[in-house]
C-alpha cells in the first residue's frame, strides 16, 4: 500500500464557477456463461491439486463457494484523448447540463449517453468527493455527486458518442477486484493494468493530478466503504435469489434432508454479510453432498440463470407497456440457456407478459401434442425446447394456421402486415438510428432471408424444428452460430410485432375508412369554408422546396390552379391572408413508431393518424396582406396549459392563438 493521501490545498480561482458533475456506479449480475467459466476454472484448480505428484501439505478443502461473486460494477476507462484522466477508470458520468433539473436527472442522462443503458433504482451516496482540478486554463473546483444503480443482466454498455465521451472501453469489476483496485490503485491481472480515478483514491500516488482538502480525503474513504457496503448488499440479495431457486429445483429431484432444510432457513435469516458468507458455503456444500455433483451443478447453473431472468423480466418490465415487455421478453428468451418451461414460468410472473406467455404456450402445445412420445426421453418430457428440436417436418400453411389461431390473428391479411413491418424496420434504420448515433442500425436491420419470408417460413426459422442441437442453445463464438442466432431473433421479432400490432392495424384501418380527421372540425370552428374562386401558383427552388405561393382572384395563366382557400373568421383577420388546409393519412409505420416511442398499449391513445399542413397566401383584396404574412412578431400564448412567449410569423401566431382557445386543445 502507498502513503496515506494528505494533499496540499490549492487556491481556487474566483473567476471560474464550480463545475457540477455526476458519476454512477452501475451494478450488474454476471451471466451464467461467465459464472460457468469461473466455476470451471475453480474446479480445474481443485482437480490439478488432486492429481499433482506433489503431496498435499493439508487436506483438500471443499469447493469454496464464497469465492463466487455474482455481481460486478461497470467502470469506464478513459482513452488517450482525455488530457486529465487518460488510462484511468471511473464510474460512468459527466458534467451536469443546464437542461438537467436535478442531479438525479443528470445521472440518468449521462448513463444513457455514455453507456446506452437505462438504470434501475438510482440511489445517492451519503458522502461525495469534491476536488480542485488543475487544467491548462486554470484550476476548476469540481462538485461531485455519486450514485449507485443497477442495470439489467443482458445489457451491454457502449457509448452513443465515443469521441465525445473519450471512453476506451468498459471494465466489469467484482468486489474482490475493486478491493485490489482501491488498495493498490491497481494492477488487477497480468494482462490488464487498471488505474483508479485520482479523486476517488484513498492512497496517494506520485503522479496525483487532483487536490483535495482533508475533509474530502475523509469523504473518499467513506465513499469506498459505502461502495463496498452497497456491493455486499447486492451480492447478498443475489445469493438469496439463487439459493431459493436452487432449493426449489433440487427438491423436485428428491425431497431435501432435515439438515438442508435447517441450513436453508438459517441462510435466509442471517443479516450480516460475513456470516452470510459462512452460511452460503454451508448450504451449498450440504446440497452438493446430498444430491451429488452432476445434479447439483446442473441445478446450480440453472438457478443462476433463472435468477437473472427474474431480475430481467419480473422487475423493470412491470413498468413497461405490453409492447415493450414482450419485445424485452423475446430478446431475453434468445439469450437464455434455460429450458422453455422454466423460462416461461418465470416470465409469466410478470402480469404484463403473462397474456403473451399464455398464447406462446398454446402455440407450442398445439405443435408438440401430436408428437411421438417414444422419440422424447423421459428426462426431456417437460423440456419444450428439446421437444421442438425433435419435431418432424410440418407444412408451412399448417404452421401459419396454428400460429394465427393461437395469437388471434386474421390469416388473410398476414402478408400485407408483414410487409408493413418490414417497411417500419427499414425506416428505423435509414431515418432514425443511423442519424442519431452515426452508424448503421445493425441490431435493427432485417436480413433478406427474414424480410422476404412467409409466415410459415418465419415460424420455422424462429423455432428450428428438427435441430436437436437447438436444445443446447447458442454458443457465443463461431460466425455460423451467431448468424443463425441473428436470424432466429429477427424471425421472432417479426412474429412478435405481427401479434403486437394486431390492434394497431385494426384501429388504423377503421379510422382511415371513416376518413374523419379531428383537425377538420377544429379548423371549421375558426375558419370559413373553402372558397373556389381563388387561383394559386406554387413557386419552388432548385431542390423542390416551396418558396412562395402567388395568388390571383382570376385565372391569369394555365399554370395557376383553382383551389379552395379559407379565411380566419375573426373580423380583424378575415381579409389579412388566405389559408389552404391539407389533410393526409399518415403511413402505418408512423403509428407503429409512435406506439413504441410513447409506450402505448391502446392505439386510440395516439388519437390522430392524419397529417395536416397549412399553406398561407396573401389576399389580393387587401394591399397590406403581403407584408403582414411576412412580418415576425412575439406574443404570450397558452401552450400545453402554460403561458409561453412565442416568436414567429404573424399568421402562425394568429392560428396558434385561435387553436389554443378551442375546447380540449393543448
Q: pLDDT grade, residue 439 (50/70/90)?
A: very low
Higher pLDDT, 14 or 517: 517
Contacts of residue 507, Cβ cutoff 8 Å, sequence gap at least 6? 603, 604
Cα separation, 212 vs 133, whole angstroms: 9
Question: What phi, psi does 492 have (nearest 5°)?
Answer: -65, -35
Residue 190 has pLDDT above 70, yes or no: no
Q: What is the mean pLDDT of residues 103-131?
A: 87
125-129, 168-172, 293-297, 462-466 — most confident range: 293-297
Identify which of 305, 302, 266 has the alpha carbon closest to the alpha carbon of residue 286: 266
Identify which of 296, 484, 464, 480 has the alpha carbon closest to the alpha carbon of residue 385: 464
Predicted local confidence at residue 599, as pLDDT:
86
Is the pTM of the predicted complex or chain greater than 0.95?
no
Lowest mean pLDDT among 216-220, 292-296, 408-412, 457-461: 216-220
Calculate the alpha carbon distances from 66 to 70, 283, 591 in Å.
10, 11, 52
Predicted local confidence at residue 522, as pLDDT:
82
Q: What is the mean pLDDT of residues 204-231?
A: 72
Predicted local confidence at residue 337, as pLDDT:
66
Calculate the alpha carbon distances from 561 to 240, 255, 388 in Å.
76, 86, 64
Helix (H) or strand (E) holding 451: helix 448-451
The neighbouring-strand residues paired with 539 are 548
Predicted local confidence at residue 471, as pLDDT:
45
Q: pLDDT grade, residue 150 (50/70/90)?
A: very high
Lowest mean pLDDT among 64-68, 88-92, 332-336: 332-336
Q: What angle do CA 106, 109, 115 make, to 5 degrees?
A: 130
Predicted local confidence at residue 269, as pLDDT:
93
Could you tell me how many helices (H) and strands (E) the chain has, helices first?
23, 17
pLDDT digit string, tens, across residues 306-338: 999 999 888 765 678 899 889 888 888 777 766
pLDDT digit string, tens, across residues 249-276: 999 889 989 999 999 999 999 988 999 9
Tell me the pLDDT of the chain averaged across its residues: 81
Predicted local confidence at residue 6, as pLDDT:
40
Cα separation, 520 vs 541, whole angstroms: 30
Residue 247 has pLDDT above 90, yes or no: yes
Sign of CA pseudo-dihedral 564, 565, 566, 567: negative
Domains of the chain: 19-49+61-234 (3.90.79.10), 513-660 (no CATH)
Amino acid at each position: 500500500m502507498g502513503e496515506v493521501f494528505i494533499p496540499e490545498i490549492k487556491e481556487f480561482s474566483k473567476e471560474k464557477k464550480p463545475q457540477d458533475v455526476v458519476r454512477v456506479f452501475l451494478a450488474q449480475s454476471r451471466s451464467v456463461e461467465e459464472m460457468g467459466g469461473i466455476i470451471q476454472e475453480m474446479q480445474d484448480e481443485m482437480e490439478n491439486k488432486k492429481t499433482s505428484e506433489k503431496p498435499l501439505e493439508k487436506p483438500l478443502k471443499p469447493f469454496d463457494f464464497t469465492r463466487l461473486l455474482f455481481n460486478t460494477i461497470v467502470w469506464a476507462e478513459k482513452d488517450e484523448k482525455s488530457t486529465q484522466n487518460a488510462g484511468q477508470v471511473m464510474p460512468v458520468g459527466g458534467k451536469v447540463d443546464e437542461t438537467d433539473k436535478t442531479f438525479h436527472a443528470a445521472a440518468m442522462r449521462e448513463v444513457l449517453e455514455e453507456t446506452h443503458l437505462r438504470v434501475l433504482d438510482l440511489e445517492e451516496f451519503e458522502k461525495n468527493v469534491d476536488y480542485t482540478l488543475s487544467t491548462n486554463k486554470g484550476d476548476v473546483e469540481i462538485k461531485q455527486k455519486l450514485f449507485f444503480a443497477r442495470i439489467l443482466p443482458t445489457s451491454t454498455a457502449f457509448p452513443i458518442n465515443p469521441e465525445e465521451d473519450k471512453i476506451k472501453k468498459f471494465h466489469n469489476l467484482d468486489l474482490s477486484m475493486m478491493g485490489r483496485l482501491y488498495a493498490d490503485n491497481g494492477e488487477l491481472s497480468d494482462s490488464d493494468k487498471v488505474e483508479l480515478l485520482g479523486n476517488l483514491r484513498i492512497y496517494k500516488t506520485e503522479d496525483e493530478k487532483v487536490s483535495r482538502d482533508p475533509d474530502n480525503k475523509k469523504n473518499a474513504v467513506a465513499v469506498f466503504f459505502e461502495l463496498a457496503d452497497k456491493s455486499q448488499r447486492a451480492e447478498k440479495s443475489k445469493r438469496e435469489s439463487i439459493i431459493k431457486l436452487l432449493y426449489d429445483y433440487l427438491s423436485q429431484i428428491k425431497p431435501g434432508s432435515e439438515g438442508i432444510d435447517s441450513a436453508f432457513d438459517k441462510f435466509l435469516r442471517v443479516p450480516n454479510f460475513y456470516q452470510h458468507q459462512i452460511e452460503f458455503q454451508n448450504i451449498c456444500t450440504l446440497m452438493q453432498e446430498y444430491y451429488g455433483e452432476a445434479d447439483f451443478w446442473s441445478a446450480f447453473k440453472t438457478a443462476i440463470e433463472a435468477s437473472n431472468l427474474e431480475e430481467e423480466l419480473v422487475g423493470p418490465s412491470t413498468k413497461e407497456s405490453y409492447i415493450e415487455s414482450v419485445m424485452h421478453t423475446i430478446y431475453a428468451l434468445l439469450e437464455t440457456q434455460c429450458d422453455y418451461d422454466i423460462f416461461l414460468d418465470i416470465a409469466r410472473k410478470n402480469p404484463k407478459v403473462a397474456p403473451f406467455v399464455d398464447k406462446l404456450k398454446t402455440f407450442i402445445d398445439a405443435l408438440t401434442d401430436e408428437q411421438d412420445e417414444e422419440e422424447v426421453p423421459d428426462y426431456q418430457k417437460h423440456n419444450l425446447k428439446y421437444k421442438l428440436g425433435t419435431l418432424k417436418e410440418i407444412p408451412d400453411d399448417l404452421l401459419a394456421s396454428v400460429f394465427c389461431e393461437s395469437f388471434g390473428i386474421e390469416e388473410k391479411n398476414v402478408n400485407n402486415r408483414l410487409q408493413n413491418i418490414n417497411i417500419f424496420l427499414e425506416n428505423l434504420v435509414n431515418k432514425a438510428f443511423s442519424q442519431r448515433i452515426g452508424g448503421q442500425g445493425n441490431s435493427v436491420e432485417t436480413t433478406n432471408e427474414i424480410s422476404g419470408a412467409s409466415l410459415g417460413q418465419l415460424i420455422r426459422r424462429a423455432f428450428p424444428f428438427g435441430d436437436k442441437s437447438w436444445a443446447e442453445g447458442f454458443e457465443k463464438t463461431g460466425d455460423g452460430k451467431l448468424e443463425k442466432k441473428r436470424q432466429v431473433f429477427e424471425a421472432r421479432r417479426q412474429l412478435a410485432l405481427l401479434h403486437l400490432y394486431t390492434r394497431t392495424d385494426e384501429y388504423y384501418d377503421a379510422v382511415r375508412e371513416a376518413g374523419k380527421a379531428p383537425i377538420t372540425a377544429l379548423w371549421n370552428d375558426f375558419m370559413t369554408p373553402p372558397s373556389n374562386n381563388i387561383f394559386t401558383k406554387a413557386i419552388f427552388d432548385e431542390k423542390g422546396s416551396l418558396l412562395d405561393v402567388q395568388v390571383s382572384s382570376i385565372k391569369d395563366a394555365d399554370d395557376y390552379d383553382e383551389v379552395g382557400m379559407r379565411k380566419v373568421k375573426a373580423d380583424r383577420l378575415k381579409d389579412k391572408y388566405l389559408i389552404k388546409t391539407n389533410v393526409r393519412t399518415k403511413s402505418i409505420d408512423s403509428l407503429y413508431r409512435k406506439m413504441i416511442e410513447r409506450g402505448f398499449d391502446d392505439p386510440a391513445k395516439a388519437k390522430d393518424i392524419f397529417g395536416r399542413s397549412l399553406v398561407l397566401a396573401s389576399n389580393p383584396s387587401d394591399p397590406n396582406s403581403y407584408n403582414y404574412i411576412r412580418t415576425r412578431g412575439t406574443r404570450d400564448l397558452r401552450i400545453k396549459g402554460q403561458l409561453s412567449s412565442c416568436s414567429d410569423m404573424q399568421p402562425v401566431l394568429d392560428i396558434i392563438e385561435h387553436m389554443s382557445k378551442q375546447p380540449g386543445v393543448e
